[in-house]
Every structure is written in C-alpha cells, then in structure tokens.
Chain A
Amino acid sequence: MLVLAIVMVMPFLWMISTSLKTPAEVFKYPIEWIPSNPTWEHHVKVWSGTKSFGTYYLNSLKISLIGTIGATFLSAFAAYGFSRIEFKGRNGLFMLYLSMMMIPPQVLFVPKFIMFEWAGIYNTHWALILPAMFTIFGVFMLRQFFLSIPHEISESAFIDGAGHFRIFFRLVLPLAKPALATLAIIDFSWHWNDYENALVFLIDENLYTIPLGLQNFILENMVDYNGMMAAASAAIIPMIVVFAIGQRYIIQGLTNSAVKG
C-alpha cells in the first residue's frame, strides 16, 4: 500500500525535486530525487520576473475568496428555503434547480461570452466572480444538512416569537458551521483550480489567475524544464497546504453528498 501511495505522489516529488535541479540534471536516469546542488534560482525567476506569480496569486485569491463567501452564504439562504419553509412549488423548483447540474459548461460558454460582452464584464474579474456565487452543489449539500436539524428547534423558536430570518441567522447558521466550512473549502479549491472559465472569459494578462498564469509562463519557457516545474510547484503547493489543514472537512463533505445524497 505504501509503495502504491508513493507512486501516486511521485509526480509531485519529481516536480519539486526537478524545480531545484540544474538543467543538466533534469532527465538524468536513474532519477536523482535529491539534487546534489539544489538551487532556488528557478523559484526566484517564477516570483520575480516581469510576469510575477504574485499578481496571479492575488487575482486567484480575490476571485476564489469573494466567490466562495458569496456562494456559501447564498447557498445557505436557498437551502434554508428549500428545506425548512413549506411553500407551493417548492419541490418542482428544487427539481428544476438540480436538473441544471446536467447542463455541461460548454453549452453555457458561448451565450455567457455574448452576455458578458454585452454587460461590459467580459475580461473583468466579475465574469468569474458573479457566476461563482451560485453553486447548485452547495444548495444541494446544505439542504441535506438542514433537513437533518430537528424541527422542534424551530418550533420552539416560533413559539417564542422568532421569524424565519432570526431562526436562520441565530439557530440554523451556527448549527451548520461544520457543513458551511466543508462547503467553503471544497468550493474554494474548485475556484482556485478553475482553468476553463478563466480561459474563456479573461484576456488581459494582468487579470490572469494561477492556472492561466501558469500556462502562460510554461508556453513561454517551453525549454526551461526546471522553470516549468518551479511554476507548477507554485500553483500546487498552496492547495496541498489547504488540503492538509482541511482534509477532514473535504473528505466528510464529499462522502456525505455522494453516499447519502
């Protein structure tokens, strides 16, 4: 098991080790896992050149953070409506909602491109942030969680004179903290790694997010293998750190929505 696990992470180990090697050592076989003369110059180049990864980081951070906060809050709001208020047409609307998950992003690219152009947000960060605020998966996942909160809790609050808004903010949201954290971490990782949307909706290089910036860097330095791997490390390592911290939440969230959903 350990051997197979190591095979799984070998590409990452090779990436990091290559980013510290000299050009002559890249394809040396047998592989030199620990470079004899480690050098940081490739990493320095990635972070300091005219197109610095710093800009891409800030852009990605901005889009992912605003998108995630918006999506978590709006999902919770809708999930509350779908799970704890009874109103006509609720189930029909929820089915419609879920059916949207079947639409492949490719169907939406062209019309969104035209609409964003018309609205003047094409090639701005809003083109990524606004759609990111709405996640069907988030509503679905939180709805599952809200359904599991006992009804007696809201009933006694009703008797004390609280309305739905107060119950939502004072009771349900605090109870749902772990579920909200789970959704936020998963959602953040999706936006952080999102390449396809950025590819379609951004042109200006100073607006690029990490996946686009990485691609750009690599296409320009196609022969600089060490630089390529240093850039790839810059893109991957933050996610590994996020994963290491939030592992429990990510795994719980994904398994809950897959197994019990």
Chain B
Amino acid sequence: MTNNWMRRQQRLGYIFIGPSMIGVLLFFLIPAAYSLGLVFTDYKFMNPNVGFVGFDNINRMLHDKLFYLSLKNTVIFLLAVPVSLALGFVVAVILNQRIYLKKVLRALYFMPYITSGVAVSFVWMLLFQPKQGPINGFLRAIGIDHPPGWLSTTTSSMFAIDIIWIWFLMGYNMIIYLAALQEVSPELLEAAKIDGARPGQMLRKIIWPLVSPTSFLLLVTGMIMTIKTFGIIQATTQGGPGNSTTILSLYVYQNAFRYYEMGYASTISWALFIIILIITAIQWIGQKRWVHY
C-alpha cells in the first residue's frame, strides 16, 4: 500500500514538472550541449562543409586582440553596477525616512527599469548629441567649454554607456534596498540612538552591515545581468566608434550573425559562461565568508 502510494507520488511528481522539463531540455540543455560541440568546429552559416578543428577556435580567441578589447570594455561596463548600487542605497535610506510623496518618488526612480531598453537608448543618443544635445548644452551653460563627446569618441563612449546603465539599474537596486531596510529592527536603531550614536555612525556601523547580504546579492546578480546584455549598445553605437563599445556579449552576436562565424561565436560565448561561473562561485564562497549577518 505505502509502496504503491510512493510510486504514484513519484509518477505525479514527474507529470507536474514534466512539461517544464521538456522546455528546459529543448531550449536550454540541448542547445547548450550543441553550442559546446560547435566550439570545436569551423561551422559557418550556409556552409555545408563543417570540419572538426579541435582547439583552433580557442587558440584564435586567446590571440584575438578584439576579444581582449571586448573583455576590457565589459569590465568598464561592469563599473556601472557598484555605482548604481551605491546610489540606490543612498536613495533608499533617504526614502525610508518619513517623507512626503514616498510612493510617487519610488515609482519615478523605478521607471527606467521597466521601460524598453531600445527606446531609452535612442532617447539617450539624442540627449548625448555632442554638438547640440541638451546635456552638453547644459554643461556649456555652466562654464565647461569642451564637454565630452559622449557616444561619439572612443575614449568616452563606454563611460557614456555606463551612465545610461546606471540610470537604468539604480531604481531596481533602490527598491530591493528599501525592502531590506524595512527588515532592520527599529529597536536596534533606537538602542543605538540612546547610546549616543550619530546618524552617520548608525548608517556605517549598523545599517550598512545589516544590509550587506542584500548588497552582495545585488552586486552579483547585477553583474551577471550586465554581462548578458547588449541591446542598449547594439541600438546606440553597434559597438563603435572603432570597437570602443564592443563588449563580449555583443562580440558574440556580431561574430554569429554579422560574420556568420558560428563556431567562433560559440567559443566566445563559452568564455562568457566561464566568467559568469566565476562570479557565481565567488558568490557561493563569499556568502559564507564576507557577508556580515
């Protein structure tokens, strides 16, 4: 009887997760295995002669200057994550006080996060317009004679993308911090106040350590999300000027669907996966070590 029941449970379990598992198999597992296989081929779109090339693609990647440039650009892109984190924290602390229009303010900060990345990319493209754009218009008005060229020069383009990305991510970080701040016990803060702690001290010594798990989580998930994105760059600069905004995810896309070098594109995509794996591993170890509960 119990054995029968167990078997029924087992079967029902598979029935419930089955449809989802088939989807994961078809759209995640099989493609991932396929892609790993492509790393060792010279597969090009529409070319029926696929050859096994061993480690050639990996070798090529390790000697590809553009790969290293994309890696460097990816790192600069990632700088947006801690900056948006810090800003999100500050705004959350202020919004957590009893202030007017709290809900409206929260919504305004959060708005960029839910809007279409492509649409906002085009808006920023015009805002950043170097000669006549409103941002440089403002900078000239306050006395900066040679404002940056933003998306139009090789030195400033990646930082201009960072600004857009900080603007985009900040609201998300802010709402997650707000939720974390609400969990900080008011008694603790009250006690610290009685002991004579100043607001700055309370922030540094009590609130910041208490929300450190949240900071850590936002840092890691923000980095992974940032590494996977390329839409805003494809829409604004397509990696230019002169490859200065080509990040790894975009470089994969270009190799696959602009040059049809699908074997090579797969190789770079796995490099991307390895980076995500490393960040995730740091998260696993870090959770135990660095997070202050």
Chain A residues engaging chain B, CB cutoff 8 angstroms? 1-2, 4-6, 8-9, 11-12, 14-15, 18, 26-27, 29-31, 74-75, 77-78, 80-82, 85-88, 90, 93, 97, 100, 102-115, 130-131, 133-134, 136, 139, 163-164, 168, 189, 192-193, 195-196, 199-200, 210-211, 214-215, 218, 225, 228-229, 231-232, 235-236, 239-240, 242-244, 247, 250-251, 254-255, 258-259
CB pair B9 A87 closer than 8 Å: yes
Determine the distance from Cα of A109 to Cα of B34 in the docked complex, in whole angstroms: 11
CB distance from B70 to the nearest CB of A (A): 12
CB distance from A67 to the nearest CB of B (A): 12
Residues of B162-189 whose CB lies within 8 A of A: 167, 170-172, 175-176, 178-180, 183
CB pair B23 A74 closer than 8 Å: yes
Residues of B70-117 whose CB lies within 8 A of A: 91, 94-95, 99, 101, 105-112, 114-117
Q: Given contacts A11-B124, A14-B134, A110-B269, are A139 and B20 in contact (CB under 8 A)?
A: yes
Determine the distance from Cα of A74 to Cα of B15 in the docked complex, in whole angstroms: 12
Determine the distance from Cα of A31 to Cα of B129 in the docked complex, in whole angstroms: 14
Q: Is the interface of A mostly helix, strand, loop or mixed?
A: helix
Task: Please give, as numbers and ranges, the residues of chain A lying within 8 Å of B58 by CB-CB distance.
Answer: none
Task: Please give, as numbers and ranges, the residues of chain A lying within 8 Å of B9 by CB-CB distance.
Answer: 85-87
CB pair A109 B28 closer than 8 Å: no
Centre residue among B31, B129, B256 by max chain A CB count within 10 A: B31
CB pair A81 B108 closer than 8 Å: no
CB distance from B219 to the nearest CB of A (A): 12
Task: Please give, as numbers and ranges, the residues of chain A lying within 8 Å of B101 by CB-CB distance.
Answer: 2
CB pair A104 B228 closer than 8 Å: yes
Closest to A212 in B: B118
Task: Please give, as numbers and ranges, the residues of chain B lying within 8 Å of A15 by CB-CB distance.
Answer: 123
Closest to B22 in A: A134
Q: Given contacts A102-B280, A218-B122, are A97 and B114 in contact (CB under 8 A)?
A: no
CB pair A78 B34 closer than 8 Å: no
Determine the distance from Cα of A163 to Cα of B231 in the docked complex, in whole angstroms: 46
Sampled A-B contacts (30; CB under 8 Å): A1-B99, A5-B109, A6-B108, A9-B108, A11-B123, A27-B137, A81-B12, A82-B16, A97-B21, A100-B24, A103-B32, A104-B269, A104-B276, A106-B253, A110-B262, A111-B32, A112-B27, A114-B262, A134-B27, A163-B12, A199-B253, A200-B253, A214-B118, A214-B122, A228-B122, A231-B119, A240-B114, A243-B110, A258-B217, A259-B214
Q: Given contacts A29-B137, A103-B273, are A110 and B266 in contact (CB under 8 A)?
A: yes
CB distance from B269 to the nearest CB of A (A): 4
CB pair B23 A134 closer than 8 Å: yes
